[in-house]
Amino acid sequence: MDDPKEFASRLTKAMAARNMKQRDLVEKTLIPKSAINHYVSGRVIPKTDRMYLLSRALRIRPEYLLGSVNEMELPDDIKTAELEYSEFLKKFVSLNEENKHLVIDYTDYVYEKQNRT
């Protein structure tokens, strides 16, 4: 995509669909408020890394922001995977260091066992 106004239109549409304001994107992405304002106003198109952060925060397809697809919503299998991953991370972060190491060690063990040929 090389049209900042089209990008801005898609971004604001996604923000409205998720009932998000610019400050919400700042909090979720850690992208500076001034940069978010530039994207929303159609002055500039973000680089790929920031576009990815925006799409993750909005829970939309990155291709939608790029203008290569018109469907904003993530496929259901990706939504499910993200939800499961998010729940796992919430639980993992709440563990003490000893139990975190146990989970990591067990994960390594299962991974090695699965990938033996």
Cα(107)–Cα(90) distance, integer angstroms:
17
Given a cut of 70, is residue 91 above it in pLDDT?
A: yes
Structural domain boundaries enclosing 24: 4-66
Choose between 38 and 89: higher pLDDT. Answer: 38
pLDDT tens-digit profile of 70-87? 888 876 666 666 666 667
In a domain, 50, yes or no: yes
Choose between 10 and 93: higher pLDDT. Answer: 10
Average confidence (pLDDT) over 19-47: 95
In a domain, 71, yes or no: no
Same domain, 30 and 59: yes
What is the domain-level CATH number for residue 47? 1.10.260.40
In a domain, 91, yes or no: yes
Three-state SS for the chain is CCCHHHHHHHHHHHHHHCCCCHHHHHHHHCCCHHHHHHHHHCCCCCCHHHHHHHHHHHCECHHHHHCCCCCCECCHHHHHHHHHHHHHHHHHHHCCHHHHHHHHHHHHHHHHHHCCC
Same domain, 32 and 62: yes
Same domain, 21 and 58: yes
For the chain, what is the mean pLDDT?
87
pLDDT tens-digit profile of 47-67? 988 988 999 899 888 889 988
How does residue 100 score in pLDDT terms, banded at 50, 70 and 90? confident
Same domain, 57 and 104: no
